[in-house]
Amino acid sequence: MTPSPPRVTLLTRAGCHLCDDARTIISQVTAELGETFVETDITTDQQLYDLYWEQIPVTFVDGAQHDFFWVDADRLRRALAR
Domain ranges within the chain, ordered by starting residue = 6-79
Q: Where are the alpha helices (DSSP H) in 1-82?
A: 17-33, 46-52, 73-81
**CA dihedral of 55, 20, 80, 41, whole degrees rounded to 10:** 60
pLDDT score of 2: 58
Nearest by Cα to 34 from 69, 59, 3: 3
pTM (whole model) above 0.85: yes
Looking at domain 6-79, what is its CATH homologous superfamily?
Glutaredoxin (3.40.30.10)
Q: For position 82, what pLDDT does the model report?
A: 82
pLDDT at 5: 85
Shortest CA distance to 10 belongs to which of 82, 67, 54?
67
